């Protein structure tokens, strides 16, 4: 079975500081991993995904994430936070054997302090 754990339901960073949002997964088979962002009163939007190949994945808005199999992690980072990055971030996992079902973490709310 697959599951996702996001450490830290709320993260605050200063504008210009490093953003690090943590995601650990559990999967019995090679996973597909996703990060989504949700701005207030909107649906979720894909930031980036890992399926196969290069383990460092670059996404939109300067975000990137690295798949580390040994640590079962897929942490999201951005070198310099911008005010517009304030949102809810969700990590998700799926796999070939899950019948196309996706498992989402409980989300991390990012606050950017001016």
Among 7, 18, 20, 46, binds other proteins (CB under 8 A): 46
CB-based contact 33:95 (threshold 8 Å): no
Beta strand extents in 10-99 (DSSP E only): 10-14, 19-21, 24-26, 31-38, 44-50, 56-58, 64-68, 73-78, 87-95
Among 25, 67, 74, 103, binds other proteins (CB under 8 A): 103
- Reading the block at residue 107, the tokens are 């989300």
* Residue 101 lies near other proteins (rule: CB under 8 A): yes
40 forms part of the interface with other proteins (CB under 8 A)? no
Helix (H) and strand (E) counts in the chain: 0, 12
Q: Which stretch binds other proteins (CB under 8 A): 15-23, 37-45, 60-68, 69-77?
A: 37-45
Q: Does residue 3 belong to the site contacting other proteins (CB under 8 A)?
A: no
Under rule CB under 8 A, residue 105 binds other proteins: yes
Using DSSP's 3-state secondary structure scheme, residue 80 falls into coil
* 34 binds other proteins per the rule CB under 8 A: yes
Q: CB nearer to other proteins: give 61 or 80.
A: 61
Q: Give bridge partners of residue 13 from the DSSP assignment.
A: 112
Which residues form the interface with other proteins (CB under 8 A)?
9, 32, 34, 36, 41-46, 49, 51, 90, 94-96, 98-107
């Amino acid at each position: 079975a697959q599951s996702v754990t996001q450490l830290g339901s709320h993260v605050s960073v200063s504008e210009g500081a490093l953003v690090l949002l943590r995601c650990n997964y559990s999967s019995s088979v090679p996973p597909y991993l996703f990060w989504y962002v949700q701005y207030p009163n909107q649906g979720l939007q894909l930031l980036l995904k890992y399926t196969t190949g290069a383990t460092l994945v670059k996404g939109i808005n300067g975000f990137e994430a690295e798949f580390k199999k040994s640590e079962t992690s897929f942490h999201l980072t951005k070198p310099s936070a911008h005010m517009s990055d304030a949102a809810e971030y969700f990590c998700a996992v799926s796999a070939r054997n899950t019948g196309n079902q996706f498992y989402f973490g409980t989300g991390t709310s990012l606050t950017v302090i001016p």
